[in-house]
Amino acid sequence: MNEKLISGFSKLSKKEKIDWVNTHYGTEDVNANTDDFSVFFHENAAIQEVIDGFSENTISNFILPYGIAPNFLINGVVYAVPMVIEESSVVAAASSAAKFWLSRGGFTSTVLSTVKIGQIHFKWFGDTSLLYRLFPDIKEKLLFDSKHLGANMVKRGGGVTDIELLHLGHLEEGLYQLRVKFETVNSMGANFINTHLESFSSSLKEYFNSSSFLSPEDRELLIIMSILSNYTPECLVTATVSCPVSDFNGIYKDMGAAEFANKFQQAVRIAEIDPYRATTHNKGIFNGIDAVVLATGNDFRAVEAAGHAYAAKDGSYKSLSVCKIENDIFTFSLTLPLAIGTIGGLTHLHPLAKKTLSILGEPDAKMLMQIVASVGLAQNFAAVKSLITSGIQDGHMRMHLMNILVHLQANEEEKSSALQHFSKISVSFSSVREFIDSMRSEK
């Protein structure tokens, strides 16, 4: 067998896994590599055990910066928002946008809807009208059989809110979908939804096997799959900022307030009409969204997938934010689906996710949606503001300067001289290297 392959890797201890990786995929210096992994273990063994439990084959922890963007005024309440992100200048940009809007009424955010969707796809080749006639009976059985699964959720005001039968035979012969709507209150709800869908599938099979309304040949039903949909266009939140155009006076060098507002509006308009720009524009929004979603232990892949699908809902991929200027009032809003929770999942298992929710004042899911959407809008405001004024590289590279200095293994004296030297001139990797080299050669 190829020595780079292994069976039973998951059964090895953590130490054995590390040794195996170092031996087969590491550098010559096996001990140094072992240190590379173990140096990131949490010193508290109980916490490390919790983290190890999140995923399989864990051999270390991958550390990302956990930052705070203060001064977020959202619906009249001030928040200091935790953000987990590796990209320089994202937290700084969110903070500066938060501060700008703080004295202009802050962010207004509203949850528009909280419906989540699950789907069961199955194939059946009998008479479609018969299936529609039997559907009320089927629905009753599915709900009855799954009653025990939802008791707690129902107590909290959630549960299954609707089951619809869709015939998709025009797309694929014999194909049907059960589209199930859920209210999952303060949890993201993936487990609740998937458990229900799998129960519905079994009940559906049972119904087809036993119903006296179906002939023996009609009993044949092929369940293909049962899973939640990460597209949640009915789990929507909107965040808005607004101010008189004149409030932009002095926002950048000698640029006038009206020039700034018009250029800003044009930039957002371009992201509405050009998918290439829209993708980057929305990426900037998700810089903020993902960072907060991650800090709260929520599933950022689900949030991204839904957001991008929603951006393409009209048939072409567009900006998630819109900007208008009416009667000299500038208004900038972001609307997007956010299926996130404040209970369940990792939200209270991950020690820092729990801390994040505490810093945010233990919000419910709706409040968290409003906070996350506001940060997304702030991030978008900061990015577009930079793009139409200084460009982003200056600020970005300035924040990146420290990474370059660390990469060049600069000592404290070199770092402080470099910070001073580059405070007024542009930063690039080569200019920093030249500067450090010249300092070193002078010694």
Question: Which residue lies nearer to ligand MEV by CB, 188 or 383?
Answer: 383
- Tabulate helix, strand, coil % of the chain (nearest 5): 50, 20, 30
CA distance linking residue 339 with residue 88, whole number of Å: 27
Nearer to ligand MEV, 93 or 131 (CB): 93
Is the CB of 87 or the CB of 206 nearer to ligand MEV? 87
- Name which of 74 and 382 has its Cβ closer to ligand MEV: 382
Strand partners, 359: none
Nearer to ligand MEV, 156 or 269 (CB): 269
Quote the least distance from Cβ 387 to ligand MEV, whole Å: 6
As measured in angstroms, the least distance from the Cβ of 287 to ligand MEV is 5
Minimal distance, residue 398 CB to ligand MEV, in Å: 14
Choose between 277 and 354: whose C-beta lies nearer to ligand MEV: 277
CB of 428 to ligand MEV, least distance (A): 17
Least distance (Å) from ligand MEV to the CB of residue 313?
Answer: 20
**Cβ-closest residue to ligand MEV?**
284
Q: What angle do CA 267, 270, 276 make, to 5 degrees?
A: 115
* Cα torsion through 86, 92, 97, 98, rounded to 10: 90
- The answer to whether 68 and 83 are in contact (CB under 8 A) is yes
Chain centroid to Cα 297, Å, comes to 10
CB 281 to ligand MEV: min, Å:
5
| Number of CB atoms found within 10 A of residue 74's CB | 22
Q: How far apart are CA 418 and CA 400, in angstroms?
A: 12
**Rounded-to-integer distance, Cα 408 and Cα 416, Å:** 14
Residue ranges in contact with ligand MEV by CB under 6 A = 87, 280-281, 283-284, 287, 383-384, 387, 392
* Partners of 223 in beta bridges: 122
Shortest spacing between CB 286 and ligand MEV, in angstroms? 9
Which residues have C-beta within 8 Å of that of residue 7, sequence separation ≥ 6? none
Contact 157, 185 (CB under 8 A): yes
Task: Closer to ligand MEV by CB, 65 or 361: give it.
Answer: 65
